[in-house]
Chain A
Amino acid sequence: MTAVTPSDATQHVSPRLKGRRRSRTLAIGIAFVGLIVAVALVSLVWLPYEPSDTSGGRLESPSWEHWIGTDKFGRDLLTQLMIGARIAITVGCGAVAVGATIGITIGLVAAFAKPWLDDTISATLDVLIAFPVLLLAMLIVAAQGASLGTAILAIGIALSAVVARLTRILASQVLRAQYVTAARTSGTRWFGIVGQHVLPNIWPTLGVNLALLFGAAVLAEASLSYLGLGAPPPNASWGRMLQEAQATFTTAPAGAIAPGIALVILVVGVNFIADGLRDLADPTRKRSR
């Protein structure tokens, strides 16, 4: 994949059309993510069945009693899907929060550090990034035992290397800018430089990438759960639903299709939002809208 800057990709499109298209992308993204968030919120106060209720028939097709059917133990799939939405959002937000906190801190330290320390940090990050996220997460889960907190921590730490490298690159670009020199000649101290100039100027790009990483975190959680390394029951995760429905896919496909569609809606939704945010977060680009 080659990096395409927004201006390359949209050069032939008039600014107004581009703006309209962007805001439509953003609206669709918000609708998709909003749907999943709404389901997750409803699951906190109301569920069609108890998660452990096995009173339904085994592998039932969708019906008025069980809207998307039941699993091989006779549990309601809609109930699991709703709990799964909660797990996906929790892990996504938690992992991005962990990854952003650790990653932005390390990235800023590297950007401000003396060259030798910067080089050491960068080389370490390159190694960590080459390491597959899932493998890194599996190692942490193996050491800590599977739980929701471990999944968040593991995925968050895995993401932090990516955030740190991006932050370092963006921050050192800002530090070379003349407005930072100008701010320093007027006596701004380094924490003022970080808070007033570096963070606001890297935020448009960083924010978009954090939204993209939210999608990656949701997929990583599904993969961990699929492998049996995610949050244990009763935390029904979409990944585990997929795994449990796999053996009976040909006879009862709803058990795999439902969490699959839910994953796609959430991940596509955050990616659309990320795309739409690119313009909103940067006031210097607004004049072309």
Chain B
Amino acid sequence: MSLLRIDRLSISSASAAPDARPLVDELYLSLEAGARLGLIGESGSGKSLTSLAITGLLPSGLAGSGSITLNGVEVIGADERVLQPLRGPVASIVFQEPLTALDPLMRVGRQVAGPIRRHRGLRGGALDTAVRAALDEVALPDLDRMLRAYPHEISGGQRQRVAIAIALASRPALLIADEPTTALDVTVQAEVLALLNRLVAEREMALLFISHDLAVVSSMVDEVVVLSNGVAVERGPVARVLSAPEHEYTRRLVASARALDNALEAL
């Protein structure tokens, strides 16, 4: 049994014309426990919607059809009672923009404590210790200040580390990272990627890594699915897809990434 299995997933807007193309169109993918898969595509190709659909949290007004199973449990059309136990221990998401993914009015310590209390049942002193350990694990400095800080009082990279700590607090079998470094500076990007790489390896988690950046994806995963306008146009080992892209869209993605690289080198 696969950890994640997506079968003919289509996502469409309830208000769109019936003959309009779905936002995600008949997507297939599957991920075994401990495996890593990249999902790449331009902005607007349906990557984030796919990740939300996996946890049964599509925005209102959008509906999914087909099948998504997490640990063998059907997600599409499932009741909150069925979805609740899956969110956290089975699948967890790290979002693109950590400033909006953290509650602006809640101290960092409390935001990390929430899922630890829920999923590991810790209270009091044991909870405090676990929160510190969780922040320490994502290599945050100055823990006393971090615990008491509001999200706007720490840097972007630190915020994303907090978001990662929250996502990992429930010890998920599958981590979905939705462009986790897109909102960060290049130097911070590399640190956060290295951190994710280490944590995913240490905990033997499965990783669904979403990005529009080929260089970033190739450093994180072995297999990729290329998404264009909601359609999976190509898939395969990341080295093969980058060196010998088969689909026109992938070729353009690779070419524009090369052009950018060359332009940077010429500087």
Contact = CB atoms under 8 A, between A and B. Distances in A.
B129 interface: no
B104 A284 contact: yes
A182 B101 contact: yes
Nearest to B169: A186
B104 A201 contact: yes
B163 A283 contact: no
Contacts of A284: 104-105, 150, 152
Contacts of A196: 103, 106, 110, 114
A268 to B, nearest CB: 29
A93 to B, nearest CB: 26
A186 B105 contact: no
Nearest to A285: B152
B102 A179 contact: yes
A232 interface: no
Given A187-B115, A200-B103, 12 more contacts: A184-B87, A185-B87, A185-B93, A185-B167, A186-B115, A186-B118, A186-B167, A187-B85, A187-B89, A188-B118, A200-B105, A283-B105
B84 interface: yes
A178 B101 contact: yes
B209 interface: no
Interface in A176-210: 177-179, 181-189, 192, 196-197, 200-201
A189 B105 CA distance: 19
A284 B119 CA distance: 29
Contacts of B92: 185-186
A124 B39 CA distance: 47
Interface in A82-135: none
Contacts of A179: 100-104
A197 to B, nearest CB: 5
A201 B111 CA distance: 14
B11 to A, nearest CB: 15
A122 to B, nearest CB: 16
- Central interface residue in B85, B114, B166, by most chain A CB within 10 Å: B114
A287 interface: yes
B46 interface: no
Nearest to B52: A181
A186 B100 contact: no
Given A187-B170, A200-B105, A192 B55 contact: no
Contacts of B101: 178-179, 181-182
- Central interface residue in A177, A185, A192, by most chain B CB within 10 Å: A185
A211 B188 CA distance: 45
Interface residues of B, number: 33
A282 interface: yes
Interface in A267-284: 282-284
Contacts of B128: none
A283 B150 CA distance: 8
A185 B100 contact: no
A200 to B, nearest CB: 5
B57 A186 contact: no
Interface string B73-100: 0000000000011011101110101001
Nearest to B116: A186
Contacts of B102: 179, 182
A183 B95 contact: no
Contacts of B166: 182, 186
Contacts of A189: 84
Interface in B196-213: none
Contacts of B118: 186-188
Nearest to A287: B152
A186 B93 CA distance: 8
A182 B163 contact: yes
Contacts of B100: 177-179
A185 B57 CA distance: 8
A110 to B, nearest CB: 14
Contacts of A181: 52, 57, 95, 101
B103 A187 contact: no
5 contacts: A178-B100, A183-B103, A200-B103, A200-B106, A284-B104
Interface in B148-206: 150, 152-153, 163, 166-167, 169-170
B148 to A, nearest CB: 11
A187 B106 contact: no
A192 B100 CA distance: 18
Contacts of A283: 105, 150
Interface in A139-189: 177-179, 181-189
B119 A197 contact: no
A282 B114 contact: no
Given A192-B114, A283-B105, A186 B88 contact: yes
B23 to A, nearest CB: 17
Nearest to B104: A284
A201 B105 contact: yes
Nearest to A174: B103
B87 A178 contact: no
Closest 3 A/B residue pairs (Cβ): A187-B88, A182-B101, A178-B100
